[in-house]
Amino acid sequence: AQKITQTQPGMFVQEKEAVTLDCTYDTSDPSYGLFWYKQPSSGEMIFLIYQGSYDQQNATEGRYSLNFQKARKSANLVISASQLGDSAMYFCAMRDSNYQLIWGAGTKLIIKP
Amino acid sequence: ETGVTQTPRHLVMGMTNKKSLKCEQHLGHNAMYWYKQSAKKPLELMFVYSLEERVENNSVPSRFSPECPNSSHLFLHLHTLQPEDSALYLCASSQDGARGRAFFGQGTRLTVV
């Protein structure tokens, strides 16, 4: 069965430090896409970064990078130089062969000043 | 502004009321989704419409009734809801395909009293 696992319900990080949010996935499809979304307390889901299963290089978007380890089936999100505004829920998701998104339970990230 | 607009942002309704949630996208996407997000639970996919045809209905109670009159609009009709239906309801749209990321609305925070 297709599944996304985020093992960190919550994380506390000092401002300006880098933070890694874990995500592992399970699928037998050779073609899939992995996404990270940020959800602040306002509720809106904000797209952060995408990694395709056939992409050779790890995706990067500004301060966000995705540490994609295909053999381990992991797609960890790395946020460099964290900011107070990074405090939010972070969700990892996978798009399967039916093009539907499968979601992890999320990680609540709190950045401390 | 993500291109997906949900109204209302907040809704309080009694258990005997009938109300509707509205979602609108002008991104030219061909798939639209309703998600339910309860406290401390993963995102739950409720309904998927692809090309205005419902392709997924994840065992959602009949007191939730979706409607997709055209590719830009999606409704969720609510009647005789229960207090446990109180949650954040998120609408999303995407272009079908593995790389098609979902764009989310800001959500409707529903409270059933």
Test the B interface: residue of A23, A50, A99 with most B CBs within 10 Å = A99
Given an 8 Å threshold on Cβ–Cβ distance, is B88 in contact with A43? yes
Handedness of CA B20, B24, B28, B31 (dihedral sign): negative
Q: What does A11-49 look like in DSSP terms, one character per residue?
A: EEEETTS-EEE--EEE---SS-EEEEEEE-TT---EEEE
pLDDT tens readout for residues B62-99: 999 999 999 899 999 999 999 999 999 999 998 865 45
Q: Please state, for a pLDDT cut of 70, what percent of chain B lies above it.
A: 90
Residue pair A10/A22 in contact (Cβ under 8 Å)? The answer is no
Chain B nearest CA to A33, separation (Å): 6
B6: nearest Cα among B19, B18, B23, B20: B23
Cβ-Cβ contacts under 8 Å, B33 against chain A: 101
Of the pLDDT bands very low, low, confident and very high (cuts 50, 70, 90), residue A42 is confident
**Using CA atoms, how far apart are residues A3 and A27, in angstroms rounded to an integer?**
7
Residue pair B103/B93 in contact (Cβ under 8 Å)? The answer is yes
Strands B108-112 and B10-13, how do they pair? parallel
Q: Is the pLDDT of residue B56 over 80?
A: no
Q: How far is CA B8 from the centre of its chain?
A: 12
